[in-house]
Amino acid sequence: MTQQPPSRPTEPQVDAGRRRLLRAGAAASTLALAAGTSLPAFAAPPAPVVATVHGRVRGLREHGVQVFRGIRYGADTAPVRFRAPLPPAPWRGVQDATAYGAQAPQRSREGMGSEDCLFLNVWTPDTDPRARRPVLFYIHGGGYDAGNGSDPLYDGTRLCTRGDVVVVTVNHRLNAFGYLYLGLLAAGYGSSGNAGQLDLVLALQWVRDNIARFGGDPGNVTVFGQSGGGAKIATLMAMPAARGLFHKAWTMSGQQVTAAGPRAATQRAQLFLRTVGIDPDAGDALARLQALPAQRIVEGTTARDFSRVEDTRLYFGPVMDGEVLPRHPFWPDAPAQSAAIPMVVGNTRDETRAFLGGDPANFELGWEELPARLEKQQYVDIRADLVVAHYRALYPHYTPSEVFFAATTAGRSWRGAVEELEARARQARGAAPTWAYQLDWGSPLDGGKFRAFHTLDIPLVFDNIRQPGSRTGEGAAAQQVAEAMSGALLALARHGDPNHPGLPHWEPYTLPRRQTLLFDVPPSLADDPRGGERAFWQQAPFVQRGTM
């Protein structure tokens, strides 16, 4: 039986008032009919209009909340390609905020997008500036290459109605437009490797300056993001320009321990320029790059990277440029500027089933072929046969395919989470706590073969298991996990602590215990889950992809 969303509690006095109105309306209808007249239709509530610092915007009323889509927070980036964004020019009149704005240029099924892409979306219970509700600011995934803030899974309605919060999602520059580092190739472009991060700073500044007009509290902003969104949050935590713009953080399967070094980022820029037909050493290289159509720049991002772990396409991501990002985000320690920010760091138990599960052969591996397949897909440089032997000793009941997915998850996706958690745990006394989670509950779809795969926690945290694109199913267990996870996010936003009555007591992550909440049915707290795997992979130094 399909579980329906829990109904909202009704207040007795509201029901009584509604009954009085209905009785009065019925009586008026009877009198009007007797007199041979008709009643005027009840007028629909007017569309909400909010005056931002740049101009007025008109939104919609949907499902009990007020929604504003496609609010411009920055000017068209085409005139400042590869440079810091600019705020929008003020406008007169009222702009419609009823449709999502363009996504950043990228290769996607939704189309290429536009350089005029600095738009955000707001869901709010109402726009009373006195409400001062917690603000949830979501940064989408897709690495640093793709994505947008308008996916149905990011719809903020459920969080608004359940938690009495304001939800914001955002678009920003990606791939070469947001992260092509030209600082060592051209004067005046020192921030180009982090232009996409500066877009997010501008969006957070917009929240600071405007969100009270939408019923939110600019002094209580929680950033949360999945995959690339989580990595962007980790990077923001080390950017001086982002200091004070958010107050809590929740990352999901997305970490940024180290950033690209300027030499590696410059080599990638040179490779990119040659891919689009420009000699990096030519005097007119930058002018020719600026004149390229956006479509050609997107095509240039498909060049094959020189790094072993980037064996498909050119890596783009944040750059430790000495200006916008003066240090690695979480190495050699957690950034001091963010020590006071309560943080949740999470991952899913079976991350790489999302990336590698599309190949049916990976579900039918034998022991003989496993080492070679593992060698091709693991990021950490440890002999594959030793990896297989270790996992067979840890989990003697695992099949070769289960070893493959477990080892690639631990060596690729999970490792960065452990590094960030340990860095936060080592931070000086007086720092805000950090909580760790692992999503163990797996999707029942496709016979359950993908388990707790990368991205599965998105509809659970948004409580959007019935939205298009959700792979959770609509069963009672999915709804139970969604309520536990979204409730934890709402508790963090409101109280600075993710604990709520639907969870066992969630202790902060400390060394050496490494307390981790396992989201499952039911949820449980464990010390150092998968500790044998963690210790094995830590024999090799961790280097974030794209750093070299």
The answer, yes or no, to whether residue 374 has pLDDT greater than 70, is yes
Only one residue has tokens 């999470």, namely 346
| pLDDT band at residue 43 using 50, 70 and 90 as cut-offs | low
Residue 513 has a pLDDT of 97
Q: Do domains 54-180+190-252 and 350-493+505-537 have the same CATH topology?
A: yes
Residue 308 has a pLDDT of 63
Average of per-residue pLDDT across 268-279: 97
In sequence order, the β-bridge partners of residue 226 are 252
The answer, yes or no, to whether residue 10 has pLDDT greater than 70, is no
Average of per-residue pLDDT across 265-282: 96
Average of per-residue pLDDT across 323-347: 97
Per DSSP (E only), the strands in 476-530 are 515-519, 524-527
Half-sphere exposure of 543 (CA within 13 A, CB side): 15
| pLDDT band at residue 548 using 50, 70 and 90 as cut-offs | confident
In sequence order, the β-bridge partners of residue 187 are none
The answer, yes or no, to whether residue 332 has pLDDT greater than 60, is yes
| pLDDT band at residue 21 using 50, 70 and 90 as cut-offs | very low
Phi then psi dihedrals of residue 248, to 5 deg? -145, 160
Q: Which residues have C-beta within 8 Å of that of residue 33, sequence separation ≥ 6?
A: none
- The token pair at 18 is 């509604």
For 470-519, write each residue's pLDDT tens digit.
999 999 999 999 999 999 999 999 999 999 999 999 999 999 999 999 99
For 350-366, write each residue's pLDDT tens digit.
999 999 999 999 999 99
Share of the chain above pLDDT 90, in %: 86
CA distance 287 to 359: 43
Compute the C-alpha angle 178/338/182, nearest 5°.
25
- Rg of the chain over CA atoms, in angstroms? 25
For 437-458, write each residue's pLDDT tens digit.
999 999 999 999 999 999 999 9
Among 140, 247, 454, 500, the active-site one is: 454
Among 150, 191, 192, 227, the active-site one is: 227
The DSSP output letter for 477 is: H
Half-sphere exposure of 449 (CA within 13 A, CB side): 11
**Is 454 an active-site residue?**
yes
Specify the CATH class of 54-180+190-252 in words.
alpha beta
The strand order across the sheet containing 49-51 reads: 49-51, 56-58, 94-96
- The token pair at 202 is 């501008």
Average of per-residue pLDDT across 50-56: 98
Residue 2 has a pLDDT of 36
CA distance 367 to 124: 54
Among 54, 247, 328, 351, the active-site one is: 351
- Averaged pLDDT of the chain: 91
Residues in the chain: 548
Half-sphere exposure of 353 (CA within 13 A, CB side): 19
Average of per-residue pLDDT across 161-183: 98
Residue 47 has a pLDDT of 95
Mapping DSSP to helix (H, G, I), strand (E, B) and coil, where does residue 71 land? strand
CA distance 347 to 20: 52
| pLDDT band at residue 110 using 50, 70 and 90 as cut-offs | confident
The answer, yes or no, to whether residue 120 has pLDDT greater than 90, is yes
The answer, yes or no, to whether residue 5 has pLDDT greater than 60, is no
Give the DSSP letter string of 123-187. Answer: EES---TT--EEEEEEE--STTTS--TT-GGG--HHHHHHH--EEEEE----HHHHH---TTTST
Nearest to residue 138, comparing CAs of 106, 111, 171, 115? 171
Q: What dotted CATH number matches 350-493+505-537?
A: 3.40.50.1820
Domain boundaries, the chain: 54-180+190-252, 350-493+505-537
